[in-house]
Structure 1
Amino acid sequence: MDPRHLDDHMSEGGKFPQWSIQETRDLVMIRADFDSAFFETKRNKFLWEVISTKMKERGHNRGVEQCKTKWKNLVSRYKGMEQEGTGQYFPFYNELQEIFTNRMQRLLSMEPRREFSFDDHEDDNDNAEKASGSKKKRNSGESSYKLRETLEKFMKQQMQTETELMKLYEAREEERRMKEMEWRKRMEELEKERLRLDEQWREREDQRRAREEARAEKRDTLIATLLNKLRS
């Protein structure tokens, strides 16, 4: 059986505890938030540490290597589904497709000549670090500063986006409240109008009954008078 068709919560080679659907979904969501940061820096270890920390904040005890391995397997499955055209068998196909679509658009807008790839270049980065270890030691301080600067920029963008979304939500909520108040006011006016018309109808109905009773009383009086005359 093709391993890509197995449930997504199966463990990776039996080394780690099985991944639940919710764990995998949270990993994909967190990794998507940092996708742009992975392409703005060549040192991804710190990013995976942040992702592992965020997973733990959500109650998932997953280390750096577990998260990294799981992500690579998800990417491999997605690539296989893309080639076979069977994305319906992969429960996270749409999420990964959105990530890679956004990545391609970002690369086309920022670096038109850069070739798009599904891979995160994590293995290439690891090999490059081994081949140029001494050089990276000399530049470790500068790279760390750039990485933190990139993350700070990313977090600021996230906070700005959240602020804008909150303002938009509050504006829409205020608009909804105003419409609801206007609707309630209109309903109250309609209810008052209904009560007024109902009261008018009751008054007319009472007047009609009073007239009918008066006519009936006159008729009865007339009939009684005629009967008395006939008897006499």
Structure 2
Amino acid sequence: MSKHLSRDLEALEQDLLAQSSIVEGMILRASHAIAELQSGLLVKLLADEDQVNRGEVRIEEECLKLLALHQPVAVDLRRVATVMKINADLERIADLAVNLGQRAQSLVRFTSFHFPGRLEEMVDVAISMVRDAIDAFVRLDVDLAREVRLRDDQVDDLNREVIDDLQEMVRSNKGDIEPAMYYFSASRHIERIADHATNIAEDVIYLVDGEIARHRNEDLSFF
């Protein structure tokens, strides 16, 4: 690898890490908004989303410029491809964080509705997945990336529990249908954040091992 390619790759990855920091902050703010019904946080989320959108375009342009200028091969080509894919997932996570803020704004009118307890746990796991997936990328840690993938099942299970709880609440009180639907939507957004974190973890596996890990079950046994 030439020193110019190495320098440009390092700069590219630093831009990606700055992007991930903004996105992680957005998830945290969105989780506070939905847990504490703070509609005012939506303004900051929208401003951050605009910054993330502009950053996504800039990073993608830098990736394309690097490909044209240096024509990397092997692991260097995988690094550029991985940055492009992670960049796209981070932008989608930012969109989902805004969606959560919008659900919080809608729920302000229903402060007496019981907050689904499992939702907070679900948020915590999803946030940890995003953080650890990016950490796995920085450290090229395949073991951590695989562990993030497995954690997605925990979020899926919690999502089902939240939905079951909401359905039970609605059965007990038909007047709770509207807030229950907002929380159902929030739960789905959190589940999608975890999915994107899983995508990032799979991208790390591809970067380090050259293995396409999508659609594979880590626990699959062959007889």
Same fold, TM exceeding 0.5? no
TM-score by length of 1: 0.27
Larger radius of gyration: 1
TM-score by length of 2: 0.27
The higher-RCO structure (CA 8 Å, 6+ apart) is 2
Bigger proportion of residues as helix: 2
